[in-house]
Chains A and B, each alone.
Chain A
Amino acid sequence: MTTLDDLCQSVIEGDRGLAQDLVKKAIEENIPAERILKEGLIRAMAEVGVKFENGEYFVPEMLIAARAMQNGLSLLRPYLVSAKVQAIGKVLIGTVQGDLHDIGKNLVAMMLEGAGFEVIDLGVDVSPEKYVQAAREHHPDLIACSALLTTTMPRMKDIIDALKENGLRDQVKVMIGGAPVTESFARQIGADACAADAVSASTRALELVLELKKG
């Protein structure tokens, strides 16, 4: 087993202390930061996603794996910056206005981060104006909106409308998710995609960002 294999395994098992030690060890071994990221952390979170889809992992396992990944990433980040490693895309994420539920949104954010995205988390109860303002400021590739409630779902359309009114809609992809959200609702409000869980959200996000970059 190489250090990166061990790192990958420590993240899969959610051992944050070990994950940090192994990131340090990999840095000491002069493994390039990008390889540590891709072959250690991203590979691990992909495996976690597979385990979730197979019904082998549940939310707690995903959470501790993501925590280990984030702990490792925080040590690695300065090295990624100095090596000018680019994220594969930038995502703005938030729970829509009127809705304070965040565990689903947080899981999606973690899986996106674990897939190599730069994630800007706007938190919960995010108004359409805040999305627009953040989109202007950060120039994201993707905007991800979460809602748990049938009563707050309509705010997703408000966000898309606000992006259109501000001339931003063509520059970003919009993905929606949350318990009551369906593909047909996504089409109806003009979103680009809908995701049923954190793993499919990360897969869809990759596809959307590729589409966007192809033009």
Chain B
Amino acid sequence: MDDKKTTSRERVMLALNHKEPDRIPIDLGATIVTSIANRTYLELEKYLGLPLEEIKVLDYVQQLPYVSEALMQRFDVDFRMVQLPAATTSGVEIFEEGDYYAFFDRWGSKLHMPKKAGFYFDWVDFPIKEPAMAALDTYRWPLPDPMEVNMQLGTLAKQLYENSDYALVGSAVIGGGIFEQPARIMGMQNFLMALLSEPAFADRLMETITDIYIESCNRYLDHVGPYIQVFTYWDDVAGQNGWLIRPELYRKMIKPKQKRLVEAIKKKTDAKLFYHSCGATRDLIPDLIEIGFDILNPVQVSAKGMDTKTLKTEFGRDIVFWGGGVDTQHVLPFGSPQEVADEVKRRIDDLAPGGGFVFAAVHNIQALVPPENIVAAFDTAREYGTYGR
């Protein structure tokens, strides 16, 4: 890179275009799937001696904060987020219900978090009880955020674009993915059964969700689109050992809707498209490439068939791996700092060659992860992640 210092945005764009920058770009907190749980975040800030500020909640469901500028600078994070909380609106009201904290999301579903030993909110009561067309006729669909909100986000994005060197990341998907969200409106079991038993109902439900997302993305991208480099979408279609549903069913009923959303987004922005699905997603990758996604996250290295070396060889030319930097199911929470550092080096060796890799842990860093391990992960990524070592 001659004598001119590479900026974060340049570094990210090189990596996302499958070229080697000066070092691997680093992410913590640019998306709602590469962040850190509130309580771990506070412990980490304390451990690092960073100024303690009041937490601004990004995601009530997963209990995520907007990560502070001080922490992002400490880890040399190359990204900044331009995004509102997805599942909820900012005015969400938490109330108590027996042994649980509770709230309603913007889709009218109720969530609970156990007061004792709880870590997340999870969906427990649903506005749609039966897979019947009549239920869709009377359902109160959520509205995308109003124009003023998107204009404010646009102003923030423009300001960050012009006055900082960071790569900007955003989204306007106001719920789960097209496959995930129905489960949050009618319950996962009922939705998975409806996919087979009531396909016309399931199809209409998902098409309407797609319409809402396209409208929401249009409104957002009209203001933010020119300034962001990455647009994030999430839709978990895999579990620990493979597809949650028959891949043919995904290709018939879900993929065309995801494609419709991708095409709408691409009309409004040149940002690279980021797809998050937990689990064993190896066999999904060709589908994602085909419909126009550029980036796969979180690369759940502990799931079946997710060997990072093999993935890089097979798909590294066509898709960027964003995540997979350190296993979050075993090593990060339960390993020693040295084991964490070794794991990070191994993943960098596998995924970094030729660019196309952004360092992040596999998914959000969970509660009970020791701060020492987090620091070991990010410091190793920063030191060992230099190209042309």
Interface residues of A, Cβ cutoff 8 Å to B: 14, 55, 58-61, 63-64, 67, 97-98, 100-101, 103, 106, 125, 127, 149-152, 154-155, 179-180, 182, 196-197
Contact = CB atoms under 8 A, between A and B. Distances in A.
B197 A14 contact: yes
A199 B197 CA distance: 22
A197 B188 contact: no
14 contacts: A55-B242, A59-B192, A67-B193, A97-B114, A100-B113, A125-B99, A125-B114, A149-B366, A150-B366, A150-B368, A151-B119, A151-B366, A154-B368, A179-B239
Contacts of B188: 103
A179 B242 CA distance: 12
Given A100-B122, A150-B368, A60 B245 contact: yes
Most buried by A among B99, B118, B366: B118
B330 A59 contact: no
Contacts of B246: 58, 60-61
Contacts of A179: 239-240, 329
Contact of B245 (A59, A149, A155): A59
Given A63-B193, A103-B189, A180 B116 contact: no
B241 A98 contact: no
Contacts of B124: 100
B126 interface: no
B50 interface: no
B112 interface: yes
B245 A97 contact: no
B329 A180 contact: yes
Contact of B333 (A98, A150, A197): A150
A101 B239 contact: no
B75 interface: no
Contacts of A55: 242
A61 B197 CA distance: 10
Given A150-B329, A179-B239, A60 B249 contact: yes
Contacts of A151: 119, 366-368
Contact of B189 (A58, A63, A98, A154): A63
A100 B196 contact: no
Contact of B117 (A60, A63, A97): A97
Interface string B320-354: 00000000111001100000000000000000000
Q: Which secondary structure dominates where chain A touches chain B?
A: loop
A14 B196 contact: yes
Nearest to B279: A179
A98 B114 contact: yes
A59 to B, nearest CB: 5
B244 interface: yes
Nearest to B328: A150
Given A58-B243, A125-B118, A155-B117, 7 more contacts: A14-B196, A60-B245, A98-B116, A98-B118, A100-B113, A100-B122, A196-B240
Contacts of B195: 60
Contacts of B114: 97-98, 100, 125
B117 A100 contact: no
Contacts of B328: 150
Nearest to B191: A60
A191 B10 CA distance: 51
A101 B329 CA distance: 17
Interface in B80-138: 99, 112-114, 116-120, 122, 124
A100 to B, nearest CB: 4
Contacts of B243: 58
Contacts of B239: 59, 179
Given A97-B117, A100-B112, A179-B239, A60 B122 contact: no
Contact of B192 (A60, A97, A150, A182): A60
Contacts of B122: 100-101
Contacts of B302: 180
A63 B187 CA distance: 13
A61 B366 contact: no
Contacts of B120: 100, 149
Contact of B119 (A58, A60, A127, A152): A152
Contact of A196 (B196, B241, B367): B241
Most buried by B among A64, A67, A106, A151: A151
Contacts of B196: 14, 60-61, 64
Nearest to B303: A179
A119 B46 CA distance: 46
A98 B368 CA distance: 13
Contacts of B242: 55
A180 B244 CA distance: 17
A133 B100 CA distance: 21
A67 B367 CA distance: 36
Interface in B293-330: 302, 328-330
